[in-house]
Structure 1
Amino acid sequence: MKPKILVVDPVQSLRGILRKIIITMGYDVLEAANGAEAIHTYQANFPILTTMDLNMPDMTGIDVIRKIREFDPAANIMMCSALEQKTMIIEAIQAGAKEFVSKPFQEHNMKETMLKLLIV
């Protein structure tokens, strides 16, 4: 069984782009379209990496990070968002995100960031 990466984003087309990248890297993909789904999927699978959008319909990515880290303080989470407000990036890192990738992203930048987090 391959290690799993969880992609959390309300936009299905973006989840599809990330799914293709992750599959080419040799990992299985889990998907969630909102915060509640992300928390449930994380708890059921404990993926080795989670990509998290900042804005979702039910809660912010920062809130989801905090909830995931309550039951898994070692969670490996990276933010992936179009919002580049410095305060939001700082807040995400303080909540437990290990990296921040801006949308739209280049495929090689996304792979490089993911691999960096998977090696650590």
Structure 2
Amino acid sequence: MKMFSKLLTKTDVEKSLVIPTSSLDILPLGGHLFYINVIDNTGKAWTFPCFIQQTEGIESSVVFVGWLKFLCDKDVRVGDTVFLHQKSMDDDCTGTGTQLKIEVKRKIRLLGEDIWAAVE
């Protein structure tokens, strides 16, 4: 199940990923600083520090996601698209759980057609 996707901007790749709070169902109750744990498409686990910024007079707020190490390791660029998925996982010990998965895709031109390829 796709939770969120975004075409990445210069701010997203140079400072932090900016996500409207309305796009995420995983936000904690109370507090402005929290962490999200994700798995990339190679199975590597990542922990991203997140900060909720609420602007006075504006109903919606945004989440800034600290993911610069991930960007460097994956060579993520402006124009790539990031996807966050909530994936059901079967666990023999505890039953069914959920895992947050992150995926980045890049548009490439191949034989005159645009194709979205996974960034690994």
TM-score of the alignment, normalized to the shorter chain, above 0.5: no
Larger Rg over CA atoms: 2
* Higher share in strand: 2
TM-score, reference length from structure 1: 0.23
Structure with the greater relative contact order (CA < 8 A, sep ≥ 6): 1 or 2? 2
